A and B are shown apart, each in its own frame.
Chain A
Amino acid sequence: MNWKRAGIAALCVVPLIILFGYGLTRDPKEIPSPLPGHDASPFALTVFAPGQAPLARAPGDTVKLADLKGQVVVLNFWASWCLSCRDEHQILSQTALDYVGKPVHFVGVLYNDEPANGTKWIEQMGGQSYPSVTDPGARTAIDYGLYGVPETYFLDANGRIAYKATGPVNERIIRYLVDSLMAVAAK
């Protein structure tokens, strides 16, 4: 046994082991979005679920991003077949109500789902305070670099994407983002 050679050979694999060790600390499914900091893509989508007063919009109305200039926009992509959308539904709906009268606009975007299923789902979940729109062909979803649902985008008053949340959002993060984006807009 030549120990010197043995040692050198062993040393060669150390970087590989370190690399694997590093890899274990990362989640390969987590892919950072390049969008935050960039202008949000414009959209004009048709309302299918009206929401509740005072946030209600008539079904068939068009929600345009251009019309929402000067407001913080919370864009939530969801679907009736999405299990984890159930976790955030109540929180989003309630938080939107809390911000009534402030320059904040919540919009739900139905992703790859039939509007009829969406309406039924909202009913089952006990209603949704803000309106939801359809996204034919998932064009808007692709414009926003969507991987899956739920995903929530926070747009600042200048129409820039400030933050993208993957997976269900919690109340703390919604409030934190909306409050700070409003504060920036007010300056």
Chain B
Amino acid sequence: MIRVLVALLFAGVASAQQMMPADSILEARTAEVASQLRCPVCQGLSIQDSPSELSQQMRAVVKDQLRAGKTPEEVKAYFISKYGEWILLEPKAHGFNLLVYALPVILIAAGLGVIVLAVRKWTQTPTST
């Protein structure tokens, strides 16, 4: 039954994949860059997601620059030079910013250590009280 469900499920999805518009490569690269840039007028969304007029225009700029042969990094650098690092939806991983990437990893590592120690202790010592 599950097999049927899965087949059904992904058949529809697969057909969705094959139908891509003609200039799909440029569109996909634009989407890739645009989803990393923050929409200035809506604040939370990327310019890829935001339906606002300015976002559409910024997407057009991204597309034009990519078409003109700029690399995604160069396009991002252009927007940083105009709007500051704020425009990046993901902070660059250097300096102080490393903290926000490292802290969760440190927490998980420490937590795993604590769990290993605790489980070892709780399984070894016989019940007291």
Residues of A within 8 A of B (CB): 29, 31-35, 38, 112, 137-139, 141-148
B53 x A31 contact (CB < 8 A): no
B57 x A137 contact (CB < 8 A): yes
Residues on A with C-beta less than 8 A from B41 are: 147-148
Which residue of A is nearest B80, CB measured? A34
Please name 27 pairs of A and B residues whose Cβ atoms are closer than 8 Å in the assembled complex, sorted by A.
A31-B83, A31-B84, A31-B86, A33-B83, A33-B84, A34-B80, A34-B82, A34-B83, A34-B84, A35-B82, A38-B81, A112-B53, A112-B57, A137-B60, A137-B61, A138-B57, A139-B61, A141-B54, A141-B57, A142-B58, A142-B82, A143-B82, A144-B82, A146-B40, A147-B40, A148-B40, A148-B41
| Cβ-neighbour of B54 out of A34, A38, A138, A143 (below 8 A) | A138
Residues of B within 8 A of A (CB): 40-41, 43, 53-54, 57-58, 60-61, 80-84, 86
A183, chain B: closest CB distance, angstroms: 28
Main secondary structure of the interface of B (DSSP, over half): helix
A32 x B84 contact (CB < 8 A): yes
Which residue of B is nearest A111, CB measured? B54
Residues on B with C-beta less than 8 A from A142 are: 54, 57-58, 61, 82
A145 x B86 contact (CB < 8 A): no
A161, chain B: closest CB distance, angstroms: 11
Residues on B with C-beta less than 8 A from A38 are: 81
Residues on A with C-beta less than 8 A from B61 are: 137, 139, 142
Residues on A with C-beta less than 8 A from B86 are: 31
For the complex, give the distance between the alpha carbons of A143 and B61 in Å.
Answer: 10
Which residue of A is nearest B40, CB measured? A147
For the complex, give the distance between the alpha carbons of A139 and B80 in Å.
Answer: 16
Given contacts A137-B60, A139-B61, contact A145 B83 (CB under 8 A): yes
- Top 9 nearest A-B pairs (CB, nearest first) are A145-B82, A138-B57, A34-B84, A147-B40, A145-B83, A112-B53, A31-B86, A137-B57, A142-B61
